C-alpha cells in the first residue's frame, strides 16, 4: 500500500455524513443558531453596561460589536472540533463505520480526510448562520463579510484536523475531556475573544500569537469590520500551516490506531 493514497472518492464518505445530517438537520441547525445568540445576550447586553467601550486597533467599539466576530470564530472552532472528536470517535469505535469503509475501495486517508472536511463543512455552515445573525445586528460590512464563509471552512480544517489527531490517540471517549480542558478552553478564553490582546503584557501577546483561534478571530474581525491588529497574511499562513501539520499528524495517528 502506498504511504499516502488520496482520491476524490473521499467525497462519498462526506456525502454519507451529509445524508445523516439531513435526517435531523432541524435539530442540528438550532445549535449554531441559538448558541451565539445566548452569548451575545449574556455578554453583549449583560456585560457591556459594566465594561463600556473597547479600544481595538485604534477604534472605539461597543463590547457587543467587539465580541460578535469572535463568537463566530469560536463557533467555527467548536463545530469542527466536536465533529472530529466525539462524533468521529463514535463512528470509529462504537459503530465500526470506518472498519466497514476500509473493506471497500476507500483508503484510510480518504476516510479521515472526509471526516475532517465534513467537520470543516459544519464550521462553514455555523459561520454562515452566525454571519447572518450579526449582519442583522449591523456588525458586518459587505461584500467583504461574505469571505467569512470560506474562512470558516479554513478554520474548520485547522480545528477539525486537531480534533482528529486527538481521536487518533485518546484511549476512550471520556478522555476527550483532557484536550477540551487543556487546549480548547484556554484557546476559547485567551485568543483575543473577550478582551483585546494588545492590552496584555508582551508574554501574553506572544502566547496569543501561537493560538490558531487568535488568528481566526483576527481574520474574522478584518472581514466583518475592516480592522485588525495583526497581519492578515501571517494569520492566513499560520492557520494553513496549522491545518496541514495536524492533518498529517491525524492521518499518522489514525493509521497507527486502525491498521493492525
Partner 1 sequence: MMKADIPVIEALDLSKRFGSFTAVQDVSLQVEKGEFFGLLGPNGAGKTSIIRMMYGFSPLSSGNMKLFGLDIRTGWREIRSKIGVCQQENTLDPDLSVEKNLLVFAGYYKMSRKKAVRRTDELLDFFALNHKRQAQVSQLSGGMVRRLMLARTLINDPSLIILDEPTTGLDPQSRHQVWDKLRDLRSKGLTLVLTTHYMEEAASLCDRLIIMDRGRILVEGNPEELISKYAGASVVELENPGEDLKTFIREKQIRHEELMNRIIIYTDDSEGLGKAIRERFCPEKCLFRSGTLEDVFLRLTGRELRE
| Cβ 260 to partner 1 shortest distance, Å | 6
| Cβ 17 to partner 1 shortest distance, Å | 9
Site string for partner 1, 93-122 (x = CB under 8 A): --xxx-xxxxxxxxx---------------
Binding of residue 3 to partner 1 (CB under 8 A): no
Segment interacting with partner 1 (CB under 8 A) among 12-20, 153-161, 200-208, 225-233: 12-20
Binding of residue 260 to partner 1 (CB under 8 A): yes
| Cβ 254 to partner 1 shortest distance, Å | 14
Nearest-angstrom CA–CA distance, 40 and 214: 19
Binding of residue 4 to partner 1 (CB under 8 A): no
Interface pick for partner 1 out of 3, 19, 171, 203 (rule CB under 8 A): 19
| Cβ 4 to partner 1 shortest distance, Å | 14
Closer to partner 1 by CB, 15 or 252: give it.
15
Closer to partner 1 by CB, 94 or 233: give it.
94
Q: Per residue, what are the HEC states of 29-98?
A: HHHHHHHHHHHHHHHHHHHHHHHCEEEECCEEEEHHHHHHHHHHHHHHHHHHHHHHHHHHHHHHHHCCHH
Closer to partner 1 by CB, 5 or 60: give it.
5
| Cβ 98 to partner 1 shortest distance, Å | 9
- Report the alpha-carbon angle 117-153-60, nearest 5: 155
- 186: its cell numbers: 484556554
| Cβ 5 to partner 1 shortest distance, Å | 8
Binding-site ranges for partner 1 (CB under 8 A): 1, 5, 9, 12-13, 15-16, 19-20, 23, 95-97, 99-107, 259-260
Amino acid at each position: 500500500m502506498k504511504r499516502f493514497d488520496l482520491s476524490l472518492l473521499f467525497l462519498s464518505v462526506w456525502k454519507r455524513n451529509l445524508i445523516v445530517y439531513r435526517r435531523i438537520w432541524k435539530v442540528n441547525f438550532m445549535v449554531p443558531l441559538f448558541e451565539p445568540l445566548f452569548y451575545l445576550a449574556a455578554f453583549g447586553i449583560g456585560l457591556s453596561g459594566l465594561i463600556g467601550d473597547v479600544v481595538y486597533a485604534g477604534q472605539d467599539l461597543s463590547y457587543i460589536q467587539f465580541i460578535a466576530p469572535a463568537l463566530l470564530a469560536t463557533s467555527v472552532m467548536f463545530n469542527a472540533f466536536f465533529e472530529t472528536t466525539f462524533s468521529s470517535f463514535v463512528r470509529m469505535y462504537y459503530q465500526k463505520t470506518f472498519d466497514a469503509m476500509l473493506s471497500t475501495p476507500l483508503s484510510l486517508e480518504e476516510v479521515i480526510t472526509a471526516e475532517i472536511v465534513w467537520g470543516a463543512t459544519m464550521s462553514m455552515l455555523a459561520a454562515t448562520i452566525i454571519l447572518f445573525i450579526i449582519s442583522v445586528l449591523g456588525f458586518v460590512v459587505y461584500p467583504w463579510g461574505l469571505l467569512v464563509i470560506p474562512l470558516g471552512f479554513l478554520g474548520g480544517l485547522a480545528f477539525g484536523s486537531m480534533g482528529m489527531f486527538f481521536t487518533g490517540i485518546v484511549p476512550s471517549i471520556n478522555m476527550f475531556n483532557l484536550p477540551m480542558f487543556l487546549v480548547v478552553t484556554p484557546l476559547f478564553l485567551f485568543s483575543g475573544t473577550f478582551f483585546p490582546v494588545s492590552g496584555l503584557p508582551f508574554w501574553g501577546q506572544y502566547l496569543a500569537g501561537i493560538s490558531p483561534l487568535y488568528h481566526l478571530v483576527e481574520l474574522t474581525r478584518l472581514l466583518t469590520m475592516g480592522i485588525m491588529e495583526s497581519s492578515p497574511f501571517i494569520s492566513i499562513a499560520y492557520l494553513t500551516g496549522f491545518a496541514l501539520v495536524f492533518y498529517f499528524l491525524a492521518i499518522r495517528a489514525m493509521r497507527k490506531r486502525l491498521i493492525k
